[in-house]
Amino acid sequence: MSDPILLEQIMVAAAMGLLGAVVFAAIGLVSGTDETTTLAPLTLLVVLLGVPPAGVFTFFLAGAVAKHMTHAVPTALLGIPGDTLATPLLQDANMLRKLGVPHIALRKMVSGAIVAAFVAVPLAVLFAVLLAPFGAAITKSAPWIFLAAAVLIAYFSAGRWAAVALLVPFVVVIIALQSLTAKYGVKLSISYFLGIAIGPLIADLFTVISPMGRAKMMRDKVRTFSLAPDVKGWSGYFPNPLKVMDRTQTRWTLATAAISSATFVFSPVAMTVVLGELVGSRIKHAYHRLTTVLSARNGVTEATYIAEALIPLIAFGLPLSPVAAGPAAPLFNAPPRFTVDAATGETHNLHNLLNHWEFLGYGMLAVLLAAVVSYPFAMNYARRAALFVSRKVSHEAIIATFVGLIIVISIWEGQFLGLLVILTMGLFGGLLSRLFGFNTGVQFMGYYTAVLSVPAIVKLMA
């Protein structure tokens, strides 16, 4: 009887992984589509629709892997970052564009991503299993671990000490909003999460409707892009990534992916920058340095995302990383299905519903599906896709779609109060992110500090 059930689970996981890969491969082509703003709401929607745990997991992971392949398309060909993690790749990609070989930059980036993804999943699961014996102790200490992690992640963000100091007023605002909604018998969690996720977007929307802000955002001419002709250097539809990269690039991609697969508390952007600088300092030839750094850095974006989602999820069930607290947050906490108890730190989420072997098996399935969808597409049709997106796809329409989705979810959870919380948290968090580098990863840790650490501190003081 177990075989039909297992087969059904695998079919659901494969279908959801394929859906995630297709959706986010397309989203990755659109520049400026932040991971948190896109991955988090759609994953939350999948959770709330009642999709089985294996399907939720493969949807998220295949989507993340696919997006970090196709985000290379606008970054390499148009000179604009595909998302937040593509920003550290932009300078080297632009230098290769000036040399007239953007297609080379693209191929190195995408090939580095697919190689790193296949390496990162088993390594992340291995590291999670090694940390799992400490899970019970860490769960009991959750309020203090979240507090320490929030300070650590804030310090390593762009805001440094300003971000650490801003944790205090940010946590106070969340506690105040919780007190306000409690008076009306409304308890919110998803609305806070969504407000933080789309904070920069809400801040930009408020800026646009302000005459002063709109004047600063005005441009005196339409931005133009130049696309070099595409040159295909292989036969067939699915090129071998190990042949697209040379041996040195493959070695560095594997090494940096292994390093980033073992870390889960540092900023993904910081890991991408630091490991990229490490690779660049070891290679003298300018052209080879550029292509190798791009391969390694895009591999790090894949490996870091995978590790920062999988290690906390498998080992602890607590969102103890910037990615886990941000884009992957619905895998941990999406009431009423997945929960993290604010009083005890006990969990009921994918950590409890899937075992280590299932995480490994479904994780490799998700990477395989993303590779089958995104890799050959980016390698064969990147130029045509970039032209279509830049000419035909309305960025405003995509933003409006996500805004509409978020409004629906907020009203479902808390009616009018849910919408007010999203607007308040989004505007406050978005302005802090824009002005002080208090990014969404730090803000998510601030939220968990408010709901987990503050009650423990109050109880201790009492």
Q: Using an 8 Å Cβ cutoff, are 435 and 203 in contact?
A: no
* Cross-strand bridge partners of residue 338: 334
What is the pLDDT at residue 262? 84
Position 413 confidence tier, pLDDT thresholds 50, 70, 90: confident
pLDDT at 342 over 70: no
429 class by beta-carbon count within 10 Å (0-12 exposed, 13-18 middle, 19+ buried)? buried
Pairing label, strands 339-340, 347-348: antiparallel
Of all residues in the chain, what percent carry a pLDDT higher than 90?
A: 26
Position 439 confidence tier, pLDDT thresholds 50, 70, 90: confident
Question: Tens digit of pLDDT for each residue in 28-82?
Answer: 887 666 677 788 888 988 998 899 999 999 999 999 999 988 888 887 777 777 7
Structure-model confidence comparison of residues 280 and 2, the more confident one: 280
Euclidean distance between CA atoms 265 and 279, whole angstroms: 21
For residue 297, give both structure tokens. Answer: 């850095």
Question: Tens digit of pLDDT for each residue in 353-376?
Answer: 999 999 999 999 999 999 999 888
For residue 14, give both structure tokens. Answer: 């494969």
Residues 6+ positions from 89 with CB-CB distance below 8 Å: 72, 75, 81, 109, 272, 294, 297, 298, 301
Mean pLDDT of the region 114-136: 90
Structure-model confidence comparison of residues 366 and 147, the more confident one: 366
Q: What is the DSSP letter of 451?
A: I
Position 1 confidence tier, pLDDT thresholds 50, 70, 90: very low
Q: Using an 8 Å Cβ cutoff, are 132 and 315 in contact?
A: yes
- The mean pLDDT of the chain is 83
What is the pLDDT at residue 23? 92
Tallying the residues shown for the chain, one arrives at 462
Euclidean distance between CA atoms 136 and 145, whole angstroms: 13
What is the pLDDT at residue 370? 93
Question: Tens digit of pLDDT for each residue in 290-320?
Answer: 889 999 988 998 898 899 899 989 988 888 7
What is the pLDDT at residue 371? 92
Structure-model confidence comparison of residues 170 and 453, the more confident one: 170
Q: pTM for the complete prediction?
A: 0.79
Helix, coil or strand: residue 244: helix
What is the pLDDT at residue 199? 81
Question: Tens digit of pLDDT for each residue in 201-229?
Answer: 788 888 888 888 877 777 777 666 565 56
Q: State the distance between the two ends of the chain, measured CA to CA, in whole angstroms.
A: 54
